[in-house]
Amino acid sequence: AGTAAAAAAAGALLGPYDAVRAALAVLCAVAVAELLLRHCVRRFGGVTGDVFGGVAETAATTALVVLILG
């Protein structure tokens, strides 16, 4: 919640639409990362460094896609 609020505050510098878009990007990134983490835990029985790396890259990619398409 804090990260989404910070992203919205930073986006507010460019306008109200960008504030909503930035907060939405953070929320989507967290949701997709959580889904991937749950899938990996179910499939592998735990997490490894590769899973952490994949989750981080997936979250970053999701945030960028939402920001670009927003």
Q: What is the pLDDT of residues 32-45, one digit of tens each?
A: 999 999 999 999 99
Q: How far apart are CA 68 and CA 14, in angstroms?
A: 15
Model confidence at 31: pLDDT above 90: yes
pLDDT range class, residue 65, cuts 50, 70, 90: very high
List Cα–Cα distances, 40 to 14, 19, 35, 48, in angstroms.
Answer: 37, 32, 9, 9
Q: How far out from the chain centre does Cα 19 lie?
A: 15
Q: Using alpha carbons only, how large is the chain's radius of gyration in Å?
A: 14
For the entire predicted model, the pTM comes to 0.81
How many percent of the chain have pLDDT more than 90? 60
Domain coordinates in residue numbering, the chain: 2-69
